[in-house]
Structure formats: structure tokens, C-alpha cells
Chain A
Amino acid sequence: MTRTVVRGSGLTKRYGSFTAVDAVDLTLQENRIYGLLGRNGAGKTTIMQLLTGQLFPNAGELEVFGREPAEHADVLRRICFIGEAQRYPENFTPTHVFKAAPWFFEHWDAGLAERLVADFRLPVKRRIKKLSRGQLSAVGVIVGLASRAPITFFDEPYLGLDAVARHIFYDRLLEDYAEHPRTVVLSTHLIDEIANLLEHIILIDQGRILLDRDADEVRGSATTVAGARAAVESFVADRPVIGREGLGGLASVTIDGRLGRADRIRAAELGLELAPVSLQQLIVHMTGTELDADTTEEEAAA
């Protein structure tokens, strides 16, 4: 039986007249990898700051390991949050950071931290203020992984990390998670790179949850149908359309819902091309302005 480690209901955070997080209900289960996805300013970081006790909600209930996170050391000790621009005392070196980490994280694994330092080729004796942006991100990633915290948040952890370093992060995360399961929340723009690592997806838009589903259900749940306009329109007639593009007599329409074998044969007979929609493309469709334009049209028609 999986245990719920985070339970939030009606969570709301306002900054003046701006509502950053708007009555969000969410639960996180033990030992899963979550993707917290959405556009810039969608409210991802604010949600993570609420869950980690860095901010107080204006309304709503929140339990992390059964109680409010803020000012409860026994809860905070089990949480690790790695932010986009994680700050450290400037005169520290990475060695100092890794020496101090076990004071905060009871499951800290110094051996793992050492292996990661070698993987990322991090100069551990250089002062923090002399590190490059990517090296600073590596410090955060190492702290996040080696802390083995029961809930670990990575909020855009890899500013300045190159593709090789990012793949080291994904591989080490998977390996260590397989051996030491824990709850991991990844927030990133590089959705295609991490799509297969995720077990569950939470998509945020304008402070609200747009999608909260198993990654397996989301994957392959949308298809783009392209071909002659009339044929495309007849094929998609009674299906939920989430995106539409056209060029002269050609149309390309993205539909929600899985296609069965009979659908595929029919599409082939109509001369239509079917293309899978990646998680990243699906999210662009769901949170992009294109969809807003469609809604406005429908509203205008109604």
C-alpha cells in the first residue's frame, strides 16, 4: 500500500491582487517521481515553496508527513528543496557545503556525494563565488541526490548544466532512486528529457492544476492527424480536438484520446498521417495561447 506523504486542499497563495496559487488540491504518494510542469509564472515554484514550509498559504489545508511543514523540524528534516538559484555562503567551498549537509539530512550519503563530484568534475576546493553557473547547479544536484531525503524537490536545478551533465543527473537519479526509493518532484522546462523518468504528471497553469495523471496514461493520449482538410475533418468529427493548424487544403489536428487499431486502419485508408504527440507537445497544446484562441472563438460563437 502506498502512503500519502503530502496532502494539500484548497491551497491558495496571493501576492496583493495576484493569485499565484489558486485553490489547489494535490496529493503526493510515497516513493514516486513526479513531474511538476507548466509555463513560467504558472505557480510551480510557489507550490513547492508552500509544500516545503518556505511560504505560508493564505488559505487551504496542508499536511506533509501528517502535519504542517512550516516550523516543524521533524518534517523539514525529511525534505530537501533544490532551487533554481540555490544560494550558499559565498566564502564556502563545495567541500564545506557537503560537510554541512549531514547536519540537515539524516540520510546523507557522503560516498554518493563523492562519486557525483567525480561525475560532474566539480572543483570542490574552489570558493562558491568563483564557480561557474553550471558548477553551482552541480553543487545543488549533488546535495539533492546525496541527501536521500524522503521528499526531494528539484526546481529547475540545472541552469548552466550542459547536456552531458544533465544526463549524468538523470542516470544517477534513476540508479539511486531504484536502490533507495523516495518521493521526487522534478520541475523543469526540458520536458522531453525527463518524460520517461516520471511516474506521475501534475501540470499547472495560472495557479491551477490542469492535469494530474499517471505518466503512462498521458503518454500516447493525444495524436496529431494530418492530411487533406476534408478527410481530416471527417476523421476528427466526434473527437475532442485540442489543437488545430492548417495550410491551404491541408489540415493538422491534434485530438485527445487513444486510437485503436480500427482507427489506424481507417486513417490509413483515408490517406491520413498519424503522428504521436510527445508530452512536451501536449503541454504546449494544453497551456499555449493557441488553445485560448479556440476557447474565445467558441465563447464568441456561444
Chain B
Amino acid sequence: MDESRPIFIQIAEQVENDIIDGVLKEDEQIPSTNELAVFYRINPATALKGVNRLVDDGIVAKRRGIGMFVTLGARARLIDRRRADFATEYIRPLIVEAEKLGIDIDELAGLLRAERIES
């Protein structure tokens, strides 16, 4: 867990990552709050807050008496949201650091392409 951000947000993100990666499929049950708490060694109330955030975002929904399930279309919505944040989360810091080092946009684009070929 990263110390700088609230843990419940990180728990929500972990579940979101599993949905994006296809580890958790749509219409599939997600781990219970207690399972998340024990696995991540966090307070169950914190895990519940994380799951409630996913409920508020419409990523999972409760089925009474059974548990929480990934909603239909959740993966596509998550990807849309992550794409919208991509520029501020990743591109902006990249450009700030590149400018500090005197790397211009063309050189940066070249570096990105080279890195892509390597990986």
C-alpha cells in the first residue's frame, strides 16, 4: 500500500485493475470485504469503504444475500475513465521531467517509439 493516498481508494483501484485485466469478469462475484481486509492486511471498515466507492461508481452492484458482482459494461467504463485521466496522470509529469532534461517533443516521441519496440 502506498502511504500517500487513502487505502480505501487503493483497494477500489486494485479491484478495478483486476476488472480491466480480465481477472474479474463482468457478472462475476468480487471478493468479500473480509477477504479483502485479510488479504491486504487492512481494517475491514476500510475495505468496505473501497467496495462502496465501486458501488457508487456503478462498477459493482450488490445482490442481496450473496455479495457484490461486477456490473455489465464495467470494464469499458473503467477504460474510458482511465483514458480520460491518462494525460494528467502520465503525460503531464513526463513532459515536465523531459523539459527539465532538455528533451524536446520530437525526441520524446522517438524515445517512446524505441521503448515500445524494445518491450
Contact = CB atoms under 8 A, between A and B. Distances in A.
Interface of A: 32-33, 170-171, 174-175, 177-179, 181, 196-199, 215-216, 219-220, 223, 261, 265, 268-269, 271, 274-278
B92 A178 contact: no
B93 A196 contact: no
Interface of B: 1-8, 33-34, 37-38, 40-46, 49, 88, 92-93, 96-97, 100
Contact of A276 (B4, B7, B41, B49): B4
A233 to B, nearest CB: 21
Contacts of B33: 178
Contact of A278 (B3, B8, B44, B45): B3
Given A216-B8, A219-B6, A268-B96, A197 B34 contact: no
A232 B3 CA distance: 22
Contact of A196 (B5, B42, B97): B42
Contacts of A178: 33-34, 37-38, 44
A220 B7 CA distance: 9
A177 B1 contact: no
B102 to A, nearest CB: 14
Contacts, number: 66
B96 A269 contact: yes
Given A177-B44, A196-B46, A268 B5 contact: no
Contact of B38 (A33, A171, A199, A216): A171
A278 B1 CA distance: 11
A199 B45 contact: yes
A197 B43 CA distance: 5
Contacts of B6: 216, 219-220
A261 B2 CA distance: 17
Contacts of B8: 216
A171 B41 contact: yes
Contacts of A268: 93, 96-97
